[in-house]
Every structure is written in structure tokens, then in C-alpha cells.
């Protein structure tokens, strides 16, 4: 029997789709030309097979379209629909965050300029109290709109963070579906994150699996002198049974 091939030994059956060089076993990026390999590197946004680059707020983004991505260090891993949906949601929230932020800062700048002009007019022309109030109220309208836009940007940023974390946890599950249970060090290597972050992802995945495997909720029924626990199906079946005759009653 031939010796088992280690992960760093070249797999001569797999060649780079770009330069044709032999790929190290389990490599998702060619070490010769840097081309991304396999379905693990297919972007859910632009459908291109491309590598990712680190990003300050997104974690990783696609080198082609700039959409949020997760790094998967195995080329034979395919993103699940759950992971793709989470990344799509993160991309949508990122777009909203950028739009709301741009609108909020623009409107806030316009409001500052309007308030400055209103102040100059009041100091130079000295209009009556009602005219002064109306002038400042009109100048404050862009400020209120800008603050609302910035609040929308903050909410979109929070939803983006939740979606990105869900994508990372789901991607970890995609990896484990191929490799089996992973240690924190191995998960950190494949996802290109720190071991501490990998520990958090493994903990989140464990909690989710426990919640998904929880038993169905049971209905609590209070009765005088007794408490009955059961799910809705059990209670419906019990209600459908004919009432048993009480002990001591005469049956005809």
C-alpha cells in the first residue's frame, strides 16, 4: 500500500486551472500563480472563482466584486445555501450602511451650512421673532433628516455584523461537513482567523446545534388539583378519546 500523502505534498492529479502547475493537496490557492481554485472560492455575489482579501469591517471581501466573503481553505467545500444567504444579507446591509452614511453626513453638512447662514442673516438683518424662529426651523430640517439617516446607518451596521457572524458559523459547518470535527487551530487555519475567533465560532456552532436539537415545546395545562404537561398532539389525542366511566357508575 502506498504511503498516505500529506497535505503539503503536491497532488499530481490536481492542476492549477490557470498555470497548470501541480497543486499541493488541499490547497485552495495556487502557490505558483496565486489563482484561486475550486468551488470554495466561488463568490456568491458575482459567481467568479476568486480569492479573498482581508477587510477592516467585512472580515474578507471578494477580489473581483468587493462583496463580503468568508475564507475557506479547502477547494472541495461548497458553500451551503444558508451561508450564501447570510453573505447576501451582509452585502445588502453593507450597501444600506454606505448609502445611509453618505446621506447622513451630507445632510448634516448642509444643515451646518444652513444654520450658519441663518445666524448671519439674523445678526445682520435683525428680523422679528417669528421670522427668526421660522428661519432656524427651516435650517434645522436637513439636520433632522441627517440624524435619521445616521441612525439608519447604525442599524444597518448592526444587522451586517449579525449576518457576517452567521455566515462564519455556517461556513464552519460547511467545512466540518467535509472534514469532520475541527479543532480551534485547524478551523483558524482554514478560515484564516485567529485561534481565539475560531474558538468563539466553534462555541456558537455548538450552541446552535444544541438549540436545533431541542425537543418540541410542550403545552402546560393548569387544572384544579392537577397539572398536565404535554404537547398539542398529545392533548388533542386525549381529548378525542371517549370519556371513561367513573368508578362506581353503572354501564348500560
Determine the Cα–Cα distance for residues 162 and 12; give it in Å rounded to an integer: 41
In a shared domain, residues 26 and 141? no
Q: Are residues 61 and 137 in the same domain?
A: no
pLDDT computed for residue 241 by the predictor: 55
Instruction: Return the pLDDT at 38.
Output: 76
Considering the domain architecture, whether residues 94 and 150 belong to the same structural domain is answered as yes
Q: Are residues 146 and 201 in the same domain?
A: yes
Q: What is the pLDDT of residue 46?
A: 93
Within a domain: residue 1?
no
Residue 94's domain spans which residues?
Answer: 81-207
Residues 89 and 191 in one domain: yes
The DSSP code for 183 is -
Are 199 and 117 in a shared domain?
yes
Looking at residue 251, its pLDDT comes to 44
What DSSP line would sit under 200-239, residue for residue? Answer: HHHHHHHHHHHHHTPPPP-EEEEETTEEEEE-HHHHHHHH
Given this model, what pLDDT does residue 1 score? 40
Report which secondary-structure segment, H or E, holds 96. Answer: helix 81-125
| Pair (90, 22) in one structural domain | no
Instruction: Say how far apart CA 144 and CA 123 lie, in whole Å.
Output: 24
C-alpha closest to that of 69 among 37, 162, 55, 182? 55
Q: Is residue 199 part of a domain?
A: yes
Residues of the chain with pLDDT under 70: 1-14, 17-18, 20, 24-27, 31-32, 213-252
How far apart are the C-alpha atoms of 174 and 178, rounded to whole Å?
7
Is residue 90 a part of any domain in this protein? yes
Whole-number pLDDT of residue 91: 96
Residue 7's pLDDT is: 40
Whole-prediction pTM: 0.71
Amino acid at each position: 500500500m502506498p504511503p498516505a500523502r500529506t497535505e503539503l505534498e503536491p497532488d499530481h492529479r490536481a492542476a492549477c486551472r490557470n498555470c497548470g502547475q501541480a497543486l499541493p493537496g488541499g490547497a485552495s490557492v495556487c502557490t505558483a500563480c496565486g489563482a484561486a481554485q475550486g468551488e470554495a472560492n466561488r463568490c456568491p455575489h458575482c459567481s467568479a472563482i476568486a480569492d479573498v482579501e482581508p477587510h477592516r469591517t467585512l472580515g474578507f471581501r471578494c477580489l473581483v466584486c468587493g462583496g463580503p466573503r468568508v475564507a475557506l481553505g479547502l477547494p472541495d467545500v461548497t458553500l451551503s445555501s444558508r451561508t450564501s444567504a447570510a453573505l447576501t444579507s451582509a452585502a445588502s446591509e453593507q450597501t444600506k450602511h454606505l448609502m445611509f452614511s453618505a446621506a447622513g453626513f451630507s445632510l448634516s453638512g448642509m444643515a451646518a451650512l444652513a444654520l450658519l447662514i441663518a445666524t448671519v442673516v439674523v445678526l445682520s438683518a435683525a428680523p422679528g421673532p417669528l421670522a427668526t424662529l421660522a428661519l432656524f426651523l427651516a435650517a434645522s430640517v436637513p439636520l433632522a433628516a441627517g440624524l435619521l439617516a445616521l441612525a439608519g446607518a447604525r442599524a444597518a451596521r448592526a444587522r451586517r455584523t449579525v449576518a457576517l457572524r452567521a455566515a462564519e458559523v455556517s461556513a464552519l459547518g460547511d467545512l466540518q461537513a467535509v472534514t469532520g470535527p475541527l479543532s480551534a487551530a485547524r478551523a483558524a487555519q482554514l478560515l484564516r482567523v485567529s485561534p481565539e475567533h475560531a474558538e468563539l465560532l466553534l462555541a456558537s456552532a455548538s450552541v446552535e446545534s444544541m438549540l436545533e436539537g431541542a425537543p418540541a415545546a410542550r403545552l402546560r395545562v393548569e387544572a384544579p388539583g392537577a397539572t398536565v404537561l404535554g404537547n398539542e398532539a398529545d392533548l388533542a389525542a386525549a381529548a378525542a378519546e371517549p370519556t371513561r366511566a367513573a368508578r362506581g357508575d353503572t354501564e348500560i
